Each structure stands twice: as C-alpha cells, then as structure tokens.
Amino acid sequence: MTAQSTGLVTARIQGWLTPAPGGLVSALPRAWRVAAAGLIAGAGLALAAQFAVYVDYAAALFRFPYDYDQGEGFELYDTVLHAQGEWPYRDSQVFPYYTSIYPPLFHLLTVPLVWAFGPQLWTGRLVSFTASLVGAAALAWGVRRTGAPRWISVFSGLAWLASNYTFHIGPLFRQHLTMVVFEILAVVALAELARDPLRPWRTQRAFWLGGALLLAAGFTKQLALATVLGALAFLFLRGPRRAVFTGLGLALIAGALYGLIDLATDGQWTVSIIRANLNAFDLAQAVSFYKQWLGLHLLLAGVALARLVYETYPGRLSIYAVWFAAALINGLLSGKFGAGESYFVTATAAACALSGVALGRLWAAAPRWAGAGRSGALALAVLAPLLYLAQVRLTLHLPTTGPVYGPVARLLGVANESGYYDSQGYTQLGPHPTAADIAAGDQIAALARAADGPVFSEEAGFMFRAGKPVVTNPFPQLVMYQAGLFDPTDEIAMIARQGFGLVILRAQFYPPPVLQALGAHYQPLTEIRMNGFLYRLLEPRPAAGGPP
C-alpha cells in the first residue's frame, strides 16, 4: 500500500470516528489517535463477531421445527386462529381448554407468513428476529441524532443485540422482543420533539408517530405500560397540559380497542389479558434478576445511571433518561410468577441508548477541554472504546465446538464440554438445536400422529407436525387456576375417561389436580430427550380387570 493510499484510509477512518471536523480524534496527538482508532476497531470487531453469532443462532432456530422455548407453539396457534378470523381469547374451561394471555398485534404481523407458508414456527421467529434488527438500527439512529459520532451510535445498537437477554429471545416465536422494538421506535420518535421545542406538538409527525407506536407496543404485550408512562412523564415535563391531553387521547383509543375486543370475545379478553396476568409476586426473585442484569450489563448500566443523575441535577431530563428510569423500575415485575430475564430487555435497550448519549456528549465536548481537562480527553479517547470492548466480554456467549467456534473458544479461554458458553451461566436458550434434537422431535411427533384421538401436549409444536388439534395451554391454565379463574372439572373428567390418546409432558406446568388426574389414569410410555429436556410420554392405563 502506498503512502498516499494509506493516508486516504486513515482520513476515512478519522472521518467515521468524528462527528464533525475538529472532533476529538483529530485533536489528539498522533500516538493517541492510533491507539483510539485501534481500540475502536477492536471493539467494533468484537461486536460484529457477537452479531455474527446471533445471526448463526437465528438461522439454526429457523431450521428447527419444534418448540425451542416452551410456549412458542401456542404463539403459533394464536397466529393460526387469527389467520382463520378467530380470536384466541376463549373460555378455557371447555374443550379444547385453550386461551391466550397475550395481545394480538405480534400474531397479526405474522399472519401473512402463515397464510403464505402454513403454520411454521420459523414464521414468527423471522418476524421477531427482523424486529430485533430494526430495533438495533433505531437505537443507533436515535443516539446519532443526539450528536454522537457514528461509531458510538452503531455500537449502541450492536451492544443491545450482544446482550445475553436480547440474544436469547430475539429469534423466538414470542411477542416480547417485538414489543420492545415498538418501545424503542416510540421513544426515538418522541425524542425528535426536543429538536424543535417551540413548534406545536400537534404539527409534528414525530408526536403522532410516537403515540401510534406506544399503542402498538401496548397491544403487543402488556409490559409496555412502563414505557407508555415514561413517555407521558417526559411529555409532562415539557408541557403538562398537552401531556394530559395526550394521555387522555391514548387512553380513549386504547380503551375503545380494548372494549371492542372484549365485546367480540364475550368478556374472555379481560379474563385472559388482565385477570390472568395478576400473578403471585416474589421479591427475592426480582432481586436476583436485578443482580444478574447489573452483573451482565455493569458498564452500560453504570454510564446510563451516571447520565441519569447528571440530567436530574445539572442537566435537563431527556426522554432517554426518563425511559431508562421507567424501564429500570419496571424490572420489579420480574418477581411475578412465570417472569424471567426478558423483563429486562427494555431496560437494556434504554441503557444502551442513554449510555450512548452520555459518551457521545463527552466525545463532542472533549476537544474543547483545556488545561487539566486535556488529560481527561486523552483518557476518554481510550476508555470509551474500552468500555464497549469490556462490555462484550461481560455478555460473551458462543458455541465452543466446530472448525470456527472451537479455535475462537479456546483462544478466549471459554472452551467447555457442553459445546456452548454463556457468561450468564446455565440457560436453556442459546445453544444450537442439533440433528439429534430434530430426530427426537420427529419421534415424539410420530407417536402423537399414531395416537387415537386428541393428544394432551404441553407443547403445541408437536401437534402441528402430527396433524393433531391443539389442546390446552398449560401456563395460562396454571396461573388462572391459581387466581381462581379456571375450574378444571371438565378437563379432569375427560382425562378420567381417557379421552386423550397420548400425554406429552415436559415442565408439568398444569394445575395440581390436572397432574394428579393424569397420574391416576395414564401410565409411562417412554421418555425422550430433546434440547436437553426430558419429555415424558404417557399412555392410557389399562381398564381395571382388563388385559395388561
């Protein structure tokens, strides 16, 4: 490479690293410029590598035809019902003992793919995965709009995808990730209002778009309420009267939609969406999730918290700061029975955004620092990219075998016999399904296909492959039973007369009386391991006095 071409490459790199001429990198001594560029390139490579692992993981799940996360098949069944013009919010106390406890928007987004390709699990997985890419791009764009350099903006989006939590649920047939993306898009849209604060809100497209996206988030999953309240709190700080009218408008629209669906489902919408989600709360469980989230996202969360404190006192609260606070508080709901790490995906997105804003502001201001501040500017040029590099190490996850992953895992010192490393520790999500897992699923589906009559299955994916109707939805049954909303009498009666040709259990998330009835009237047939879980298959017990 000639000296002239080397100079052109260096100039392009510096142009990408700085938001404008005279930025921090160009103000550094040559040795510091080289060090900063090298660290930024290293952090970018690490984030790009984690993104490649994410894409590979998603591709593996697209090829897997059974439930990878328990409940995916029931999400698919919700989508199929919508595709047929039916509601999934039903009286679960009559056959097929089914209802859904999630709003419909994610499933409606997936309906066109089901129309085109049939009931396939990859359809919703593709929608969720694509949504995650949109969310990462929106985070990057939002941070860039605050004046941050391109590299910090891009790293903010990639850091969210690199989070263990986003990685785990991003390619699943679950509605949670799509809800988070609608939240991100809403916040990024409403952030545009601060760019022209004197212009009336009602004349700005960002205001109307942000409101519509908040509604979309809420009708994707109920957990979006925290972001809705956070956005309204931000609007209240900027204009109380207008914010009150905005909140009333959103409530009227949401209320009208809610009422129409409740009317169309004879009240089952309220039972399934609201009352069935009022689960028991365990503070210790919530505290354990907070500790885990902070341990994995310590650096991003730390910078975001520092920026929140700064904006609360010397600065002015931005929508990203209010959103981060609301999402962090909303993490308390992770203490609900049945909740999990996914309840912190929004907080992770908010932390990535607010930390990106904080670093971007410092990066833009650093060239103006004089005297003692010069050493701070030099330190920032090194520490900012190091933060992202260290954050990647905190959330590291990858397969550890094979011609590509094996050498990388050994180089990073994370090789192990399980074939998968996750800094979070053991998790049921993350490892690639294997050919043996597919074969095991095929074996279970074949037994279901051969069974007489309907199959009582804890996972619906097998039913689609076996051509059997979907019966029951175990987790909603359990939480509704705990809340006194589900009477299993009719279901137990059908079990007692052995109305199911086969029973397939995994986690046994059914009401205790239902499990007792299954034990009394069905006996073990076989056990099959898939994705690390043991599936117990039961067949009807012989009639008393009959042949064995």
Measure the CA–CA gap between 529 and 535, rounded to whole angstroms: 6
Helix (H, G, I), strand (E, B) or coil at 422: strand
Cα distance from N-terminal residue to C-terminal residue, the chain: 82
Q: Maximum Cα–Cα distance for the chain, whole Å?
A: 96
Environment class of 2 (CB within 10 Å of its CB; exposed 0-12, middle 13-18, buried 19+): exposed
Measure the CA–CA gap between 96 and 220, rounded to whole angstroms: 25
Question: Which sign does the torsion angle of CA 371, 372, 373, 375 carry?
Answer: positive
Measure the CA–CA gap between 319 and 142, rounded to whole angstroms: 11
Cβ proximity of 171 and 125 under 8 Å: yes
Phi, psi of 455 (to 5 degrees): -115, 135
pLDDT at 511: 96
548 residues of the chain, pLDDT tens digit each:
444 444 444 444 444 444 333 467 666 677 877 888 899 999 999 999 999 999 999 999 999 999 999 899 999 999 999 999 999 999 999 999 999 999 999 999 999 999 999 999 999 999 999 999 999 999 999 999 999 999 999 999 999 999 999 999 999 999 999 999 999 999 999 999 888 777 877 788 999 999 999 999 999 999 999 999 999 999 998 888 888 988 999 999 999 999 999 999 999 999 998 888 888 888 999 999 999 999 999 999 999 999 999 999 877 899 999 999 999 999 999 999 888 899 999 999 999 999 999 999 998 887 777 555 667 778 888 899 999 999 999 999 999 999 999 999 999 999 998 899 999 988 889 999 999 999 999 999 999 999 999 999 999 999 999 999 999 999 999 999 999 999 999 999 999 999 999 999 999 999 999 999 999 999 999 999 999 999 999 999 997 544 44
Element (H or E) spanning 160, and its range? Answer: helix 150-162
Measure the CA–CA gap between 306 and 284, rounded to whole angstroms: 26
Measure the CA–CA gap between 385 and 168, rounded to whole angstroms: 25
Cβ proximity of 155 and 47 under 8 Å: yes
Report CA 303 to chain centroid distance, whole Å.
22
Cβ proximity of 536 and 505 under 8 Å: yes
Helix (H, G, I), strand (E, B) or coil at 317: coil
Closest CA relative to residue 310, chosen from 355, 267, 370, 341: 355
pLDDT at 34: 85
Whole-number CA gyration radius for the chain: 26
Q: Read off the amino acid at residue 382.
A: V
Residue boundaries of the structural domains of the chain: 3-65+120-395, 66-102+434-548
- Give me the DSSP letters along 522-545: EEEEEEEEETTEEEEEEEEPPPTT
Cβ proximity of 276 and 101 under 8 Å: yes
Measure the CA–CA gap between 233 and 135, rounded to whole angstroms: 22
Count the alpha carbons within 13 Å of 200 in the hemisphere toward its beta carbon: 2
Residues belonging to the chain:
548
Q: Show the CA angle centred on residue 88, arms to residues 85 and 94, nearest 5°.
A: 120
Measure the CA–CA gap between 364 and 174, rounded to whole angstroms: 39
Measure the CA–CA gap between 96 and 477, rounded to whole angstroms: 12
Query: pTM of the prediction?
Result: 0.92
- The b-or-e profile of 114-138 (16+ CB within 10 A means b, else e) is beeeebbbbbbbbbbbbbbbebbbb
Quick one: how many helices (H) and strands (E) in the chain?
24, 6
pLDDT at 27: 63
Question: Which sign does the torsion angle of CA 524, 528, 530, 533 carry?
Answer: positive
State the residue for tokens 């990408």: 16
Environment class of 40 (CB within 10 Å of its CB; exposed 0-12, middle 13-18, buried 19+): buried
